[in-house]
Amino acid sequence: MSKLAGKVAVVTGASKGIGASIAEHLGAEGASVVVNYSSSKAGADAVVAKITGKGGKAIAVQGNVSKAEDIQKLFKETLAAYGKVDILVNNAGIFDFKPLEAITPEHFHSQFDLNVLGLLLTTQEAVKHFGPEGGSIINISSIVGQMPVPQASVYSATKAAVDAITISLSQELGPKKIRVNSLNPGMVETEGLHAVGFAESDFRKHVESITPLGRIAQPVDIAKAAVFFASDDAGWVTGQTLLLTGGQRQ
């Protein structure tokens, strides 16, 4: 039997990269998946097509989860389609590296409004719709929350905040049988990594050289861990931050 049969999962920022892979893997395990996207309808529709093409259930719902009204719309459409929520994956986020002298209020707020405030507001709304049996919330954090890198002070701060929120909410929501955990990937080969030029950079080669498993992650590496946290296999796991770095610790 599929691990997530009968469950409903909302995955934010799921039109590409890590979010898309997580949505596809949750769908493959039997969950009905809400593929949230901000701007890439074509990408979200492609993810839905992959899930439904394999016999799964999925819909795409547009919404910028840094905006409260869009979050409410996301869950209204989720309930209309599936009637409940069992799993929330807070994947939506952005990164923008800048040196100290280039940091502006706009640079700060663009990342904190989505990566931190958006995560909190999305979780706040989702919790209203979890049933008495509880469920699972999975926050996509990053290794840089614990091991910051140069020129990423704001982004690293957002991910350190996500780790703190994960632990705090695991304690707050535990009595409601809602588990809260975070996945903290190292470098992952995504469209975003290629867009900023890191995919072919000396920095990537450096990361690979200090990673015991000798490569950077693929989205599937993160997605498989998300399935574990979403499933009853992790029924006694909450408040944890799992480093998905291939053994990299520096």
Phi and psi at residue 83, in whole multiples of 5°? 85, -5
Residue bearing tokens 């990342």: 111
Report the C-alpha gap between 15 and 20 in whole angstroms. 5
Pick the CATH number of 8-190+219-236 from 3.30.450.20, 3.40.50.10860, 3.40.50.720, 1.10.260.40: 3.40.50.720
Torsion-angle region of 30 (φ positive above 0: left; ψ -120 to 50: alpha; else: beta)? left
pLDDT band at 250 (very low <50, low <70, confident <90, very high): low
Residues tagged active-site: 155
Span 94-99, average pLDDT: 94
Stated pTM of the model:
0.95
Residues 23 and 51: beta-carbon distance below 8 Å: yes
Position 13 pLDDT exceeds 70: yes
Task: Tell me how far apart the alpha carbons of residues 235 and 177 are, in angstroms, rounded to a whole number.
Answer: 9
Distance CA 48, CA 186 (A): 27
- Please list, in sequence order, all residues whose beta carbon lies within 8 angstroms of the beta carbon of residue 241, skipping any fewer than 6 positions away: 141, 146, 163, 166, 167, 181, 182, 183, 184
Q: Chain-wide mean pLDDT for the chain?
A: 95
The contacts of residue 77 (CB under 8 Å, 6+ apart) are: 34, 59, 61
Ordered strands of the 178-185 beta sheet: 57-62, 32-37, 8-11, 87-90, 135-140, 178-185, 241-244
The Cβ of residue 215 has, within 10 Å, a number of other Cβ atoms equal to 13
When pLDDT is cut at 50, 70 and 90, the band that residue 206 belongs to is confident
Helix/strand number for the chain, H first, E second: 9, 7
Closest among 48, 216, 35, 44 to 143, alpha carbons compared: 216
Start-end of H helices in 113-250: 119-127, 153-173, 191-195, 202-209, 219-230
Whole-number pLDDT of residue 194: 81
Structure letter (DSSP) for residue 115: I
pLDDT band at 151 (very low <50, low <70, confident <90, very high): very high
Q: Give the model confidence (pLDDT) of 223-240 as tens digits.
A: 999 999 999 999 999 999
